[in-house]
Amino acid sequence: MPAHSTQIIDLQQVKVACRSCTLHELCLPLGIEGEELERLDRIIRRRRPLARGEHLFRRGDAFRALYAVRSGAVKTYTLDEGGREQVTGFHLPGELVGLDAIGEGRHPLAARALERTSVCEIPFERLEPLTAEIPGLRRQLLRLMSRELVEDEAHLALLGQRDAEGRLAAFLLSLSQRYARRGFSAEEFRLPMSRTDLASYLGLAVETVSRLFTRFQAEGLLEAERKRVRLRDPGGLRALAVGAGARSSSRHGSGASC
């Protein structure tokens, strides 16, 4: 198996087939084997890596393919009329990008690489019919979409009811878990995004995020230098993420019978 070639040219790259990809267990091929996996593999294009800042697609672009992040990281965001950017998600290796474009045939968000990033391109027109024939693929696609809904819902709950420190704490813990699931350290990792992107994702001002990092560090919760983070007291962070900072009501909504 060829090592990750750093200089990949934009030809047909048979290297890193799904079967030998380390992300097999997280990505679309989960639960698919043998001949079926071959068929999926054949429709996937490995493109040249994206440089930091390069777009995978922009808002409004026609939907052609889903993208699986192979290495690096991608952010998705909207740009509203005033040019303000709202980051809606970060995508790590093994995750799909572009699922939200299936409905209307256009990308409602832009996606851009946060660092040097390689992706697998999965043309939807070829993937979709394949799901009819490969039950495992069909189910996995649904599972991944469903999980993205769950993630968005968690993000929503974060923005809706946590205060600033709760948001950052929850974010760091969830990122930690995502890295752990990929076989990296849960305690020490690199934040692929800028403070600005992070602030946008968390619905906060950059300055607030910066101050929180300083404070968390002073309280012994973590060590942070630039993009490297080491969680010193995950339990303490969890306490902040979960119990602490509340917002709005504690009363029940409408509805009678319980």
What does 164 interact with, of DNA, a copy of itself, none (CB < 5 to 8 A by kind)? DNA
Nearest to 29 by CA among 18, 38, 16, 45: 18
What does 60 interact with, of a copy of itself, DNA, none (CB < 5 to 8 A by kind)? none
For DNA, the closer CB: 139 or 211 = 211
Running DSSP on this structure, what letter comes out for residue 100? G
Cα(10)–Cα(49) distance, integer angstroms:
9
Stretch that binds DNA, among 115-123, 140-148, 159-167, 178-186 (CB under 7 A): 159-167
Helix (H) or strand (E) holding 91: strand 85-91
113 makes contact with a copy of itself (CB under 8 A): yes
Instruction: List phi, psi (to 5°) of 242.
Output: -100, -65
Stretch that binds a copy of itself, among 18-26, 27-35, 76-84, 175-183 (CB under 8 A): 76-84
Cα(258)–Cα(5) distance, integer angstroms:
59
Q: Look at residue 239 and give its three-state secondary structure.
A: helix
Q: What minimum distance in Å lies between the beta carbon of 117 and a copy of itself?
A: 11
Q: Could you say which of 8, 30, 206, 239 contacts DNA (CB under 7 A)?
A: 206
Q: Could you say which of 18, 50, 101, 209 contacts DNA (CB under 7 A)?
A: 209
Query: Scanning residues 122 to 151, which ones bind a copy of itself (CB under 8 A)?
Result: 128-129, 131-133, 135, 138-139, 141-150
180 makes contact with a copy of itself (CB under 8 A): no
DSSP 10-62: SS---SS-GGG-TTTTTSTTTT--HHHHHHHHHH-EEPPPBPTT-EEE-TTPB
169 makes contact with a copy of itself (CB under 8 A): no
Helix (H) or strand (E) holding 111: strand 110-113
- Per-residue x/- track, 163-192, DNA (CB under 7 A): xxx---------------------------
Q: Could you say which of 69, 92, 204, 240 contacts DNA (CB under 7 A)?
A: 204
Helix (H) or strand (E) holding 133: helix 124-133
Interface residues toward DNA, by CB under 7 A:
163-165, 194-196, 203-211, 213-214, 224-227, 245-249, 251-252, 254-255
